[in-house]
Amino acid sequence: MCLVVEQPGIAVIVNPAAHKGGAARRWPAIEAELSARLGAFTPCFTAAPGHATELARTAVANGARRIVAVGGDGTVNEVLNGLLDASGRLTAADTVLCPVPAGTANELCRALGHLEQPSRPYEAAAGQATRPVDLLRVRCPDLEGRPVDRFGYLIVSLGAAATISYRTSRSAWLKKLGEIAYLLMTPVVTLGYRHRDVAIAVDGGAPQTRRLFSAMVANTENGGGGMRLVPGARFDDGVLDLIEMGDVSRLGVLFGVMPRLYSGTHIHHPKVRVSRGTSFRFESDTDTLVDLDGETVGRLPLEVSVLPRAFVVGVASGGSGAFR
């Protein structure tokens, strides 16, 4: 059982496969930092996709209330889903999630300011300071047509962006390259991707059909290893930000939009549209993939909604950053 001896208890869940196995290589150093602040503990190592969810659920049932997730955003997402019931509520209201960055992308840690100083995630794991975070709820059919009802905290993407993630994740040799793999796959998908006619309804309003290359519903400003995908989006404001890449040419995407993603100035492109809401529905007659927090979860039709301040994360005292 992966609990520190003190109650209410701390569970440490580690994904050794994160960052192409880099988390396993870094684990001795991470373990030393955690042990220095938490005392002796027995870590739980994940063995397969989805295992972190099971481990988190078991840890909470055994009395753990501070859950340390060592890995990337995919690991943190799995752990988070193990802390929630079917409605998106914490199964134990006093549970605190403490991410320790060890993945390819660590966007929650970036938003918390934990990438600025290496000691911050360890201080947060052992401290008492916390911040509330909004939750994304996603409903769609999976790739086999079965209903999906899942939670996340970063970004839901559909269209070309989701296709890039899907095709990259299914290439064994590309996955070994980390973030570079997505950059290599981007022009391949972009040059062959066909725009979709997608009906979009915001906050229960009448659907409007628009021609889209890609779209993202974001709970955070950053994504993709520091890109400013949706400038101004925040984890804790109770609102989601929708960015649509419309009827722009493939070359326009490659040379007019994508080079501006790191600065966030792509939102000023005439074919890029930004709006806000608390719920969104997307439908299309054309098969369109859906991605949540970097993992392919299914295809359209898609419903996305926000559960304001649904869970709590540990932060380093005096160092929560901009929280975006």
What's the confidence (pLDDT) of residue 179? 65
What's the confidence (pLDDT) of residue 320? 44
**The CATH number of domain 10-133+310-314, selected from 3.40.50.10330, 2.10.109.10, 3.40.50.1360, 3.40.50.2300:** 3.40.50.10330
Cβ neighbours of 241 (radius 10 Å): 23
The answer regarding whether domain 136-309 maps to CATH 1.20.120.530 reads no
What's the confidence (pLDDT) of residue 7? 45
Per the CB < 8 A criterion, the answer to whether 153 and 220 are in contact is yes
Whether cis (ω within 30° of 0) applies to the bond prior to 101 is no
List phi, psi (to 5°) of 178: 70, -140
What's the confidence (pLDDT) of residue 324? 60
What's the confidence (pLDDT) of residue 2? 61
Per the CB < 8 A criterion, the answer to whether 277 and 147 are in contact is no
Q: 66-71 and 96-101: which strand pairing?
A: parallel
Cβ neighbours of residue 256 closer than 8 Å, sequence gap 6 or more: 248, 269
What's the confidence (pLDDT) of residue 323? 57
Sign of the Cα torsion 282, 151, 183, 120 reads positive
What's the confidence (pLDDT) of residue 19? 83
Spans of all domains in the chain: 10-133+310-314, 136-309
What's the confidence (pLDDT) of residue 199? 98
What's the confidence (pLDDT) of residue 319? 52
Low-confidence ranges of the chain (pLDDT < 70): 1-8, 172-179, 225, 318-324
**pLDDT tens digits, one per residue of 118-166:** 999 999 999 999 999 999 999 999 999 999 999 999 999 999 999 998 9
What's the confidence (pLDDT) of residue 240? 98
